[in-house]
């Protein structure tokens, strides 16, 4: 029995962000267009891992949401920076009143009413608050960087999930081929035993064993078909498709090489490139800036204000000129507000320290995750070689068992055992091959090297 050849594996090198395929709209749409045309023609569309990643990045709603949140955070930066810029206002007022009549109830304002009309404007400008606004702007900029890093982390999460679904579906397709060939082999054996039973060369017991083996192979085929359909549905979900589309999955790269030998280098790469760690570091820096801004509330604030305008309609007895204008500087000095500012500054400082501790905890987890992923990749790589030897030995054993059975030197039990061992070895080798590819993808993810 031959085992279907496995697709080529992706290279084990760590992929840098600069190597991320910058596919344009046509490339993104290519798998969808190919799927539609291929299905119309009755053939399965081809889909590579790179195309699957591009489709997932384009269609997955989690990525769209993270991108929108990053854009929203940029507007927060502009909102905060607005405090440093001047504010201008304009007004137009006209009043018709009984001259010299007085307001005798209500708020404390100028009580005399005059018929007049005028227009003018004013401005306010913060001169200095001794660093508070500057720290608030810096904090919001760092939060924007953290949001962008979080968006990149979301992309990497989706890419890893896509690789997981892609290799699961690819493995399921390969196992389906193994199950189909297993049914073919068992059917051939069953037909041969049936013919020999008719010719009185084999007993009915042999035929019963052959029938049982064939039924077991058909059950395995049903499970393999269901698994292939389920994994394809899971892949469609990750790709952001709202309907079932079946693909012919293809790996376009050469066989996977051995894992990188230096785990310490991988750990350093992960500490430098993991976007979730970068996001946490930016958040910690933003929290420090915000704590400084809260501390600066206790400092004075100096601002300028001015106003000017014209009164073309006015009672001359009460207006010396037909315009007005003025400018001034104001200093606000906080004296005491029940320890509010000092408490807010202390709270912000403690939260910044907590952010720093969370970053340290994440660094420790990254070191652990990179090391365990590297160990898993090495083990998976060794399993590929071991299962290849196992499959070769099982194929040889099956050939010998078939020969012995045809010569009447062994029973159907020995042949059935050899067929079972060969099928089991083929399944193990298929699993090992794709699990190794997935282990490499997980290792790249843990080091922040994908996409």
Lowest-confidence segment of 168-172, 274-278, 405-409, 415-419 by average pLDDT: 405-409
Lowest-confidence segment of 207-216, 253-262, 437-446 by average pLDDT: 253-262
Instruction: For residues 192-221, give the mean pLDDT.
Output: 90
The per-residue pLDDT for 267 is 96
Residue 39 has pLDDT above 60, yes or no: no
Instruction: For residues 286-297, give the mean pLDDT.
Output: 96
What tens digit of pLDDT does each residue of 381-394 get? 999 999 999 999 99
Q: How confident is the model at residue 115 (pLDDT cuts 50, 70, 90)?
A: confident
Instruction: For residues 43-63, give the mean pLDDT.
Output: 90
Q: Are strands 101-102 and 112-113 parallel, antiparallel or unpaired?
A: antiparallel
The per-residue pLDDT for 252 is 73
The per-residue pLDDT for 201 is 83
Q: Are strands 248-250 and 46-48 parallel, antiparallel or unpaired?
A: parallel
Q: How confident is the model at residue 379 (pLDDT cuts 50, 70, 90)?
A: very high
CATH superfamily of 24-34+43-83+133-299+352-446: Outer membrane efflux proteins (OEP) (1.20.1600.10)
Residue 32 has pLDDT above 60, yes or no: no
Residue 29 has pLDDT above 70, yes or no: no
The per-residue pLDDT for 451 is 56
Q: What percent of the chain has pLDDT over 90?
A: 68
Residue 6 has pLDDT above 50, yes or no: no
Q: 301: closest CA among 90, 78, 134, 77?
A: 134
Instruction: For residues 425-430, give the mean pLDDT.
Output: 94
The per-residue pLDDT for 2 is 36
DSSP letters of 404-451? HHHTTSS-HHHHHHHHHHHHHHHHHHHHHHHHHHHHHHHHHHHTT---
Instruction: For residues 208-228, give the mean pLDDT.
Output: 94
The per-residue pLDDT for 178 is 93
Q: Is there a contact between 213 and 186 (Cβ–Cβ < 8 Å)? A: yes
DSSP letters of 314-367? --TTT-SSSEEEEEEEEEE----STTHHHHHHHHHHHHHHHHHHHHHHHHHHHH
Q: How confident is the model at residue 411 (pLDDT cuts 50, 70, 90)?
A: confident
Residue 30 has pLDDT above 70, yes or no: no
3-state SS class at 248: strand
The per-residue pLDDT for 95 is 79
Residue 165 has pLDDT above 60, yes or no: yes
> Measured between alpha carbons, how far is 355 from 349 in angstroms, rounded to an integer?
10
The per-residue pLDDT for 366 is 96
Q: How confident is the model at residue 35 (pLDDT cuts 50, 70, 90)?
A: very low
pTM for this prediction: 0.78
Domain spans of the chain, in order of start: 24-34+43-83+133-299+352-446
């Amino acid at each position: 029995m031959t085992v279907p050849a496995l697709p080529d594996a992706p290279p084990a090198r760590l992929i840098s962000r600069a190597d991320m395929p910058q596919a344009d709209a046509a490339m993104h749409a290519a798998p969808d267009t190919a799927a539609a045309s291929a299905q119309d023609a009755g053939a399965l569309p081809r889909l590579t891992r790179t195309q699957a990643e591009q489709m997932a990045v384009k269609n997955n709603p989690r990525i769209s949401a993270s991108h929108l949140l990053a854009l929203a955070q940029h507007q927060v930066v502009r909102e905060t920076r607005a405090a440093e810029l001047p504010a201008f206002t304009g007004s137009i007022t006209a009043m018709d009143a009984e001259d010299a009549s007085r307001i005798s109830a209500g708020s404390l304002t100028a009580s005399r009413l005059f018929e007049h009309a005028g227009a003018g404007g004013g401005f306010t400008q913060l001169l200095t608050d001794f660093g508070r606004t500057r720290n608030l702007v810096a904090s919001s900029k760092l939060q924007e960087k953290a949001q962008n890093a979080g968006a990149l982390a979301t992309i990497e999460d989706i890419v890893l999930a896509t690789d997981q679904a892609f290799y699961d579906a690819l493995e399921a397709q390969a196992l389906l081929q193994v199950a189909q060939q297993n049914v073919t082999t068992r059917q051939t054996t069953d037909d041969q035993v049936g013919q020999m039973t008719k010719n009185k060369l084999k007993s009915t017991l042999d035929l019963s064993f052959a029938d049982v083996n064939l039924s077991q192979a058909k059950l395995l085929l049903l499970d393999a078909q269901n698994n292939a359909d389920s994994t394809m549905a899971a892949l469609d979900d990750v790709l952001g498709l709202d309907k079932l589309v079946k693909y012919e999955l293809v790996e376009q790269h050469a066989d996977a090489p051995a894992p990188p030998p230096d785990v310490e280098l991988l750990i350093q790469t992960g500490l430098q490139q993991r976007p979730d760690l970068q996001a946490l570091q930016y958040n910690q820096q933003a929290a420090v800036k915000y704590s400084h801004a809260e501390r600066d509330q206790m400092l004075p604030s100096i601002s300028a204000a001015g106003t000017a305008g014209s009164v073309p309609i006015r009672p001359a007895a009460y207006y010396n000129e037909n315009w007005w204008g003025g400018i001034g500087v104001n200093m606000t000095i906080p004296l005491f507000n029940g320890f509010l500012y000092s408490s807010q500054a202390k709270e912000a400082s403690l939260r910044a320290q907590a952010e720093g501790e969370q970053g340290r905890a994440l660094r420790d987890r990254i070191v652990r995750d990179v090391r365990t992923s590297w160990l898993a990749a090495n083990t998976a790589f060794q399993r590929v070689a071991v299962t290849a030897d196992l499959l070769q030995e099982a194929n040889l054993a099956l050939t010998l068992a078939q020969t012995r059975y045809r010569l009447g030197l062994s029973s159907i039990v020995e042949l059935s055992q050899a067929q079972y061992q060969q099928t089991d070895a083929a399944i193990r080798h298929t699993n090992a091959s794709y699990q190794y590819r997935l282990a490499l993808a997980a290792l790249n993810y843990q080091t922040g090297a994908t996409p």
